[in-house]
């Protein structure tokens, strides 16, 4: 989850279905929700008075991604417009830069930068870039931390989490270290893995990343593995795992 700042505001107005914004930093009366301010102090004051969260967005002055970033942010906030207020910050403003680097701990190396915070200044979530999925994830995280989710949204999020866990988890392994037994979730149960050179390893698949992954023995030993070195039968087994289907 650019042209000069004033020009970028016109993009927000069009996306909101309103007319052109009035000149200056403050939005014109036709601009409805979410409210947008060019002065972060005004945004904070409005948020406090109206029980809003604040979307601080830092755009690099004169960069080409201004319109895309503002459009993506507005679209992402559209469904929760009355929960947020936008504070438009400028990279060329020393006060805005200090707010992001010192208060929020953002290095300002990649633009645009989004920080979602409470009216009291507590950072809830953040994102860089204009990717809609990243912006949506940051907004969901912020709303969840601020306890703004409806019961229906909470139930939906829990269901998605369970579904994701079901797809990514197909086994577990208990590792005994002295008097302590540690149970680890794995991508496969413990089994015999056969390699093309004739060796066999009794282990579970702990993780997978592209052409390789990590096996873990019952004693806790981790073994890096290149999937291409496995037997044809084991490669076929990998392809059958719910979390790895279509990747090998």
- 200-215 in b/e form (b: 16+ CB < 10 A) is eeebbbbebeeeebbb
Yes or no: say if 139 and 125 are a contact pair by the CB < 8 Å rule: yes
Give the per-residue pLDDT at 175. Answer: 67
Backbone angles phi, psi at 173, to 5 degrees: -140, 140
Whole-angstrom distance, CA of residue 243 vs CA of residue 117: 35
Query: What was the pLDDT predicted at 65?
Result: 61
Q: From the CA atom positions of the chain, what is the Rg in Å?
A: 25
Number of continuous H segments (helices) and E segments (strands) in the chain: 7, 11
Q: How far from 54 is each of 147, 151, 220, CA to CA, in Å? A: 15, 22, 46
Chunked in runs of 10, what are the mean pLDDT values of the chain (248 residues)? 32 31 30 78 95 91 64 81 90 90 87 91 85 81 86 72 49 64 76 92 86 88 91 86 58
CB distance 131 to 72 below 8 Å: yes
> What is Dmax (Cα atoms) for the chain?
75
Domains in the chain, start-ordered, CATH in brackets?
5-152 (3.40.30.10), 167-240 (2.30.30.700)
In b/e form, how buried is each residue of 120-145, taking b as 16+ CB within 10 angstroms?
A: eeebbbbbbbbeeebbbebbbbbbeb
Evaluate if pTM is beyond 0.75.
no
């Amino acid at each position: 989850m650019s042209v000069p700042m004033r020009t970028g505001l016109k993009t927000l107005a069009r996306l909101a279905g309103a007319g052109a914004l009035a000149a200056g930093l403050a939005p014109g009366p036709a601009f409805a929700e979410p409210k947008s301010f060019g002065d972060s102090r005004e945004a904070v004051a409005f948020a406090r008075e109206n029980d809003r969260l604040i979307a601080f967005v830092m755009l690099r002055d004169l960069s080409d991604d201004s319109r895309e970033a503002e459009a993506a942010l507005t679209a992402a906030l559209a469904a929760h417009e009355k929960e947020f207020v936008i504070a438009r910050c400028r990279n060329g403003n020393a006060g805005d830069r200090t707010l992001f680097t010192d208060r929020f701990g953002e290095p300002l190396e990649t633009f645009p930068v989004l920080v979602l915070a409470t009216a009291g200044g507590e950072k809830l979530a953040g994102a860089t870039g204009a990717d809609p999925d990243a912006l949506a994830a940051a907004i969901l995280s912020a709303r969840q931390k601020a306890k703004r989710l409806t019961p229906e949204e909470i139930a939906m999020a829990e269901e998605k989490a369970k579904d994701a866990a079901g797809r990514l988890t197909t086994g577990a392994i208990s590792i005994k270290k002295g008097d302590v037994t540690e149970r680890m979730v794995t991508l496969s149960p413990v089994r015999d893995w056969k390699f093309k050179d004739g060796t066999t390893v009794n282990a579970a698949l702990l993780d997978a990343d592209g052409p390789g992954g990590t096996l873990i023995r019952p004693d806790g030993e981790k073994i890096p593995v290149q999937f291409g070195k496995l037997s044809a039968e084991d490669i076929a087994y990998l392809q059958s795992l719910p979390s790895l289907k279509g990747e090998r």
